[in-house]
Structure 1
Amino acid sequence: MPHADLSHPVESGMPVFPGDPPVTVDSHATMADDGYRVSAVSCGSHTGTHVDAPSHTEPEGRSLDAFPVSRFVRDAVRVDLRGHSPREAIRPADLPTVDAGAVVLWTGWDRHWGDPEYLDHPYLSPAAARHCVDHGYDVAIDALNVDPTPSEGASDNPHVTDGVGGSDNPHATADHPEASVPAHHELLGNGRLIAENLTNLDSVPARFELTALPLALAEGDGGPVRAVARWE
């Protein structure tokens, strides 16, 4: 049965959401000095390829450890959205209506990993997030965020729509520009899970099984995953 790794490696200096803890992977013990190797890893709970728990944005949301392990294995359908422009909304009409446990949004934005353009990804409109809730889909994306990410290019981009993102965002504040996360609220507030920062989606077919098992963080609001696809 074919498999594909859909995860970015965790390494020092890797991209993170603006304001999140930086990632460092340092040598703690070495073969030369200690006869074995151990690394010291410092990172946030939403580092790299990761899963968001409802408690990430919802005051009464469940943490990752409230879900059975089976919840992180989903029959997934990949949706080709590579024609979307920077900071363009993904609409309900862009999404399928099929029998699946998850939709995987293939924007192609992983090609910008490590570059400033990575922040200016397409995003899920609130109506599209509601479509996913209505059809029982969890959501995965090969970009930093299912909502618009604050960046220097946000305020004057003509593709920012639906009242989210940019300088006229009614929910954001000067101190908390990231506070407007309507797609997160729609999905996580209705018990759907979100996986972000996938990669390598060009290597999988349109239907596959997605396994994204997060680290077993007690009361985790999110956790890094090794996301793996397999198919017949």
Structure 2
Amino acid sequence: MRVVDLTTVLNEGMNQVYPGYVFLRMIPILNYGNHVIMSSNVEVWLHAGTHVDAPLHVVAGGDAIDEVDLSRFVREAVILDLTGLVEASSPILRGALDKAYQGLRDEGEDIREGDIIVLRTDWSVKYSPASREYRETAPYLTEEAVDWLLERKPSAVGFDFPEERITKLAETLGGGKPKENPLPLHAKLLGNGVYLIEHLTNLNQLSRRRVILAAAPLKIRGAEGSPVRAFAIEI
């Protein structure tokens, strides 16, 4: 058995992305200067680093993270390799997914209903929440790509890139309540019962196209998402 960590590191140097957002803040309560043990509080954005989204994130009245069946985030996953098929600042279209799917089948694998589908681009090598390049020049999903994914009836979809053009969200901050959802593709996937596993990394370290993937969220009542420690198991 081989375990591959698919999780980005959270640290306190990440607090520069959106006004008013704290990615991570460690608050020491006890330390070895004032005690014989160490104990801390932590303040964290629920969408910081590698995390999962529940429907409540973009669907009013949707399920919160504590209401989601844990098995939706812990199950077999297939890796769709989009490296070489997508470019920076470019849309991911149905044709690229078709080619990646054919590559999967050429290796003797297929997508089964209920799988987690993981889209690999290797964009995660540029990962830093404070990096404009990572956030603003990544390849991004389109509605036709989302439709392609929904047709396969996955349990969840994982990404190693900011799957939606995040600049649309940044433009809505501080200007009052937006008239429309700045994350429409999130809403389409989550509204159809497909959960999101975001900001995965190290997909290039996987040696197999089918793995067991675990991305279990914290059980926070009423929360719309949660950071996770995501990992793949190759058996």
TM-score bucket (shorter structure):
0.7 to 0.9
Give the share of equivalent positions with the same residue, in percent.
Answer: 31
Moved over 4 A (4+): none
Instruction: Work out whether 1:99 is the aligned partner of 2:112.
Output: yes
Which whole-Å CA distance do the structure 2 matches of 1:111 and 1:182 have between them? 26
Match of 1:109 among 119, 123, 133: 123
Residue 229 of structure 1 aligns to a residue in which SS?
strand
**Of Structure 1 and Structure 2, which has the larger fraction of its residues in helix?**
2
Deviations 1:82-127 (A, max 9, x none): 2322221112232236215111111111111223211121111111
Deviations 1:176-232 (A, max 9, x none): 599432221110010110011111111112211110001111122000001010022
Task: After TM superposition, list the pairs within 5 Å mapping 1:139-178 onto structure 2.
Answer: 139-143=157-161, 145-150=162-167, 175=175
Instruction: Work out whether 1:127 is the aligned partner of 2:129.
Output: no
Structure 1 gaps, min length 5: 151-164
Instruction: Work out whether 1:7 is the aligned partner of 2:7.
Output: yes
| Cα 1:211–1:13 shift into 2, 3 Å | same
Which whole-Å CA distance do the structure 1 matches of 2:32 and 2:180 have between them? 43
How many residues are aligned here?
213
Which whole-Å CA distance do the structure 2 matches of 1:117 and 1:178 have between them? 26
Instruction: Work out whether 1:63 is the aligned partner of 2:64.
Output: yes
Moved more, 205-214 or 11-20: 11-20
Task: After TM superposition, list the pairs within 5 Å mapping 1:1-232 onto structure 2.
Answer: 1-14=1-14, 18-19=18-19, 20-83=21-84, 84-95=86-97, 96=101, 98-99=111-112, 101-114=115-128, 115-119=131-135, 120-137=137-154, 138-143=156-161, 145-150=162-167, 175=175, 179-204=181-206, 205-232=208-235
Residue 230 of structure 2 aligns to a residue in which SS?
strand
Deviations 1:151-170 (A, max 9, x none): xxxxxxxxxxxxxx69xx9x
| Cα 1:75–1:104 shift into 2, 3 Å | same
Give the root-mean-square deviation of aligned CA atoms: 2.5
Contact conserved, 1:13 with 1:24, CA < 8 A, in 2?
no
Deviation at 1:76, TM superposition (A): 1.0
- Normalising by structure 1, we get a TM-score of 0.82
Structure 2 gaps, min length 5: 102-109
The corresponding residue for 1:162 is none
Which whole-Å CA distance do the structure 1 matches of 2:16 and 2:230 have between them? 17
Which whole-Å CA distance do the structure 1 matches of 2:27 and 2:96 have between them? 43
Residue 202 of structure 1 aligns to a residue in which SS?
helix
Which whole-Å CA distance do the structure 2 matches of 1:187 and 1:207 have between them? 22
Contact conserved, 1:51 with 1:193, CA < 8 A, in 2?
yes
